[in-house]
Structure 1
Amino acid sequence: MNPKQLAGEKAVDYVKSGMKVGLGTGSTAYFTIQEIGRRVKHEGLDIEAIATSIESERLAKEWGVKMVDFSEIDHLDVTIDGADEADANLNLIKGGGGALLREKIVAFATKFYVIVADERKYVPTLGAFGLPIEIIPFGWEETFREVTALGCTPKRREKNEEIFITDNHNFIFDCDFGLIENPHDVLQKLQGIPGVVESGLFLDKTDVLIIGNNDGTLKIIESKK
């Protein structure tokens, strides 16, 4: 089985009827949403869900998953999402799919945060994957200069030879910091720059990391926090 599918489907074991569930974005979370949809349709799984992207919401609705928003609920019991990198402390880089702002809002509304990934995403130190940073269009040139001054090389993301625009109508800059030995320091500095809406550093939040291996096995790492 595809290791992404293996991890994505295994994570659904954490979802029970009556729960409020966050649905992530990306190639591994895709399999999670499909499996949740299958259980809703064929096993009577009864949940309410909030998705981290328009794409994920569309997929969930196709399967008949009941979608709500934060005007209707005040927390999520569990969220299942993917990651572009995860280290041994279960700190993450996310945002390869461009949904990092919504993903972080959902993550912080969640009581139990489950990350699914294939074995390539599990790394000793974050940073081989360029850190996505969401920036508002107004004055982006100044924000770009301030981010660059932190010692990284930012590149504005494009898709199909056009500027990539997030679901929130912002830009994404993919920033090469090299290996990020102190992610908390980088996060703090980014948060101090006006125009930076959010970064793809997700720290001290993950409760369980489920890794699908190419040999068909699973590795489940639980947080020590």
Structure 2
Amino acid sequence: MKGGGGIAFPTEKKVAKLIKQGKNQMTNDTEWIIISDSSKRVSSLGEKFAIPIAVRSEAIDFVTTTLFESFTALAVARRGKNDNDGNFILDVKVKPHDVQKDWEEEIESIPGVVCSGLFLDDYADQIWVTSPDGSIDIYLPEQK
């Protein structure tokens, strides 16, 4: 279940990576499904929401500067809000259509970044998006 607010996304990311690693050792019968509501549906990342990034407190200035210089992204620290593990959360604003597939890995390789709220690495087998009328749209990721 995809959360909201960015407090639990590091836990979501850990679970996603564990499932992805485990799938490499399991049968093809195992599927991971992300469930979300329609309020999170966008045509392009950055269109409606900032991208949350968990950062160690001592690295906030370095990470903020690196994000701006490398990705032309504006990062704003959430005041008084930490993730479930106590890391600071930066809300990173990007221009719609700027996000590239390799950004997840590049951002997460910046010293001080714990993880990003980007899930660009084909984690899910299916994505279910619920609508207020109770209908469900099912999306399948592009095949490699």
**TM-score (norm. length: structure 2):** 0.79
Q: Larger radius of gyration, structure 1 or 2?
A: 1
Q: Structure 1 unaligned segments of length 5 or more: list them.
A: 1-80, 85-95
Taking only the aligned residue pairs, the percentage that are identical comes to: 29
> Is 2:99 aligned against 1:177?
no
**Which residue is equivalent to 2:16?**
107
Q: Secondary structure at the match of 2:82?
A: coil
The alignment yields a C-alpha RMSD, in angstroms, of 1.9
Q: Which amino acid aligns with 1:133?
A: I
| Aligned-partner Cα distance in 2 for 1:147–1:182 | 12
**Which residue is equivalent to 1:135?**
55
Q: How far is the alpha carbon of 1:83 from its aligned partner? A: 5.6
User: Which of 55, 62, 65 is residue 145 of structure 1 equivalent to?
Assistant: 65
CA spacing shift, 1:169–1:106, aligned 2, 3 Å: same
Q: Secondary structure at the match of 1:202?
A: coil
| Aligned-partner Cα distance in 2 for 1:221–1:124 | 13
Q: Structure 2 unaligned segments of length 5 or more: list them.
A: 24-30
CA contact (8 A) 1:83 1:116 kept: no
**TM-score (norm. length: structure 1):** 0.52
| Aligned-partner Cα distance in 1 for 2:60–2:98 | 27
Q: Secondary structure at the match of 2:86?
A: coil
Q: Deviations over 1:160-213 (max 9, x none)?
A: xxx212221110000101214443232233123111111111121111111112
CA spacing shift, 1:198–1:222, aligned 2, 3 Å: same
